[in-house]
Structure 1
Amino acid sequence: MRTVGVEEELLLVDAESGRPRSVAARTLRYAAEIATPAESGGDSASVSSVEKRAETPQSDAADDVPGGSLEHELQQQQIETDTVPHTDMVALGEGVRAWRDHAITAARRAGARVIASGTSPLPVGSAIVGKPRYLQMVEHFGLTTTEQLTGACHVHVSVESDDEGVGVLDRIRGWLSVLLALSANSPFWQGEDTKYASFRSQALVRWPTAGPTEAFGTAEGYRSTVAAMIASGAILDEGMVYFDARLSHHYPTVEIRVADVCADAADTVLIAALCRGLVDTAAAEWRAGDEPSPVSVSMLRLMNWQAGRFGIEGDLIDPRTLKPRAAREIVAELVDHVRAALRENRDEALVDEQIELIFDRGNGAMRQRATLEKTGQLSDVVADLAAVTAGLEG
């Protein structure tokens, strides 16, 4: 059974006003004084038994162990959690919650709260972490870097080889927009309603490598594309390959990066289970010699835009017919596509129940807007996000 690990980008906000606070360094310092979460059921052996990928010299990530960390992100108003790999989704959910709790405890000592939101509901300024690479990014990319304060959920699913990984990447492209729609949790930007369910997905496309990709065909095709991007000078290093899904440049995993960070940890687990189902299904298709869908990058961009704009409240674009259909129908089609893998992984009931719950109560973007409609205050949206992030409300 494939292992799954999750990275979550979380915002640090003032405990009173709800505005983002530049206290990442203090939060991480306090976190170092607190016992590190001991995730039950972690299965790091299945990842570490395969030689991890070569680390790029510019990388800021710590690679001593596969997952299990709390780290800096680009801005001082943000931190990132990283679970160890798990085969069991219940254990993965416990790991996600444990690392959130760890971050919340440390942030509280720094006078802040933690929210899982794709963007800050309230206005925020730039506070770049003073690492040389980040400062180089500011110089090279300008406003794209200084305005970059978004929260994503990155799901790592183990693969046996780069060849299998690229076979997977080529065959999951059409379904990634559905994950974005389910996870959409960023309707506000600089204090304004953007009309998007996921404005994070719009902010990201300013980066030159962000978004969907063509089919690579082989691992060599993938590596050649990445090498050409770096050689062009338009990006700094491999860590800036921001594809919706990519080969991890640290571990033998496919890293699916399209989702917003979810306020409710149960939604995070749903996205993780669907990602593993997609990887299992695509790997089986690759082994059988089934050709990937020929859908163009132009259409994939349209599919992402539609998902980011409407989430699950409107139509999505069917990855097979390229025609609009109700979001609920497309989500059901995704689940049917991966159902055999879900059943094999014992994730079927979890996925079915959580999808019903999302369509019953809405995704993160719908909850944020409902809170604003009820109270009229974006600070209340932030307070509600903090409660849900902490598992105090569902």
Structure 2
Amino acid sequence: MRTVGVEEELLLVDPVTGEPKALSAAVLAHADRDDPGQDVFEKELFGQMLEFATHPRSDMADLGNEIVRCRKEAARLAGEIGCAVAALATSPLPVSPSVSVNDRYQWMAEQYGIATRDQLVCGCHVHVSVASDEEGVAVLDRLRPWLAVLAALSANSPFWQGQDTGYAGYRSRMWDRWPSAGPSEPFGTAERYHRRVRDMVATGVILDEGMVYFDARLSANYPTVEIRVADVCLRSGTAVLIAALARALVDTAARDWRAGRPAPDHNVNVLRLAAWKAARCGLEQDLLDPTTMRPRPAARVLRTLREHVGDALTRTGDTDLVDKALAELLRRGTGAREQRRMWERTGNLRDVVTECVQQSQG
């Protein structure tokens, strides 16, 4: 069974005002004091962010338990220095991001200017194991139409700099300002994939392979496909749903490749429109159906996704988990919908953040 690992980026906030706090270095110092050499928590581009990574897991319940443990440990460490953590993909309140002290991050700030300073966004990256680079590239070519649906499911960034953006997942609109971000054309072979990456690095516009920000890519460090389209999810259960669907999509794509079924030929222009639609609407309105690239109600698109990966979910034993989580998400709404309900009820974005701090723990 394929293993799955999750990386989540969390927002560090003042527990009273809800404003982001640039205290990641202090949190990491506390983490290293408690567990010298720990490799769970990491520095990110901005001091207001804290990242953690799970171990590779084959069982979704184990993965969910680890995500909850990591979130609670992050909250404990943050609490010791007077701040809190929130699983928010953008800050609802205004913020002036502080670039972390790091040669790589300083290079990015100088290279990209305001586009770097506007990147205080928190994502969720899912790693799914593959047998080889050839299998991985075959998977990447076949995942492309489905990634926007995962983005819609995870939408958790309706606010930006104190304003309602009108989007469910505004994080992706900011993220796509990186020159290497977004969907890719089919690669066909691993050799072509690696050649394209080398050509991109050779331009000097990006620093190295780690800055190839395709929506899905081969990991430079692990034998995995890394799916990078999701917002960090308000609730840990939604992150597990995204992970289970990601594994099922990878497994389905790999089997299609081995069976000789061709990759879909949707072009990048249409995929960008699908991604925009997912960011704008989440699950509230139509999405573009990955099989036709025509608008259909979000619930019907989710049924299409569920049918597409049905056999893979059966093989992994994740059918009940996914069905229950999808039903609950459709009933409750995305993180973006929950944030807007909080705002409608309280009329105060500070209260939205403090409520989200509590929701992030479960």
How do residues 1-394 of structure 1 correspond to structure 2 at under 5 angstroms? 1-35=1-35, 69-391=40-362
Q: RMSD over aligned Cα, in angstroms?
A: 1.1
Q: Deviations over 1:268-287 (max 9, x none)?
A: 00000000000000000111
Q: Which residue of 2 aligns with 1:39?
A: none
4+ residue segments displaced more than 6 Å: none
CA distance in 1, matches of 2:223, 2:256: 19
What runs of 5+ residues in structure 1 fail to find an aligned partner?
A: 37-63
CA distance in 2, matches of 1:317, 1:325: 6
Partner letter of residue 266 of structure 2?
Answer: V
Cα offset, 1:126, TM superposition: 2.0
Partner letter of residue 51 of structure 2?
Answer: E
CA distance in 1, matches of 2:278, 2:97: 28
CA distance in 2, matches of 1:204, 1:21: 21
CA distance in 2, matches of 1:179, 1:249: 22
Q: Matched residue of 1:33: which SS?
A: helix
Q: Deviations over 1:63-102 (max 9, x none)?
A: x99xx51000000000101000000000000111111111
Q: Matched residue of 2:309: which SS?
A: helix
CA distance in 2, matches of 1:31, 1:103: 9
CA distance in 1, matches of 2:29, 2:17: 23
Partner letter of residue 213 of structure 2?
Answer: Y
Q: Matched residue of 1:79: which SS?
A: strand
Q: Percent identity?
A: 52
CA distance in 2, matches of 1:91, 1:33: 26
Cα offset, 1:34, TM superposition: 2.9
Partner letter of residue 297 of structure 1?
Answer: V
Cα offset, 1:205, TM superposition: 0.9
CA distance in 1, matches of 2:271, 2:289: 11
Q: Deviations over 1:260-312 (max 9, x none)?
A: 00010000000000000000000001111111000000000000000000000
Q: Deviations over 1:221-250 (max 9, x none)?
A: 100111000001111111111111000000
CA distance in 2, matches of 1:110, 1:196: 33
Cα offset, 1:35, TM superposition: 4.8
What runs of 5+ residues in structure 2 fail to find an aligned partner?
A: none
CA distance in 2, matches of 1:202, 1:328: 23
CA distance in 1, matches of 2:5, 2:254: 18
Equivalenced residue count is: 362
Give TM-score scaled by structure 1 length: 0.91
CA distance in 2, matches of 1:171, 1:248: 17
CA distance in 1, matches of 2:259, 2:19: 51
Q: Deviations over 1:135-172 (max 9, x none)?
A: 01111010111121101000000000000000000001
CA distance in 2, matches of 1:384, 1:325: 33
Cα offset, 1:15, TM superposition: 1.1
Q: Matched residue of 1:163: which SS?
A: helix
Partner letter of residue 110 of structure 1?
Answer: I
CA distance in 1, matches of 2:293, 2:338: 29
CA distance in 1, matches of 2:35, 2:198: 40
Give TM-score scaled by structure 2 length: 0.99
CA distance in 1, matches of 2:97, 2:76: 24
Q: Deviations over 1:158-190 (max 9, x none)?
A: 000000000000001000000000000000000
Q: Deviations over 1:333-355 (max 9, x none)?
A: 00110010001100000000000
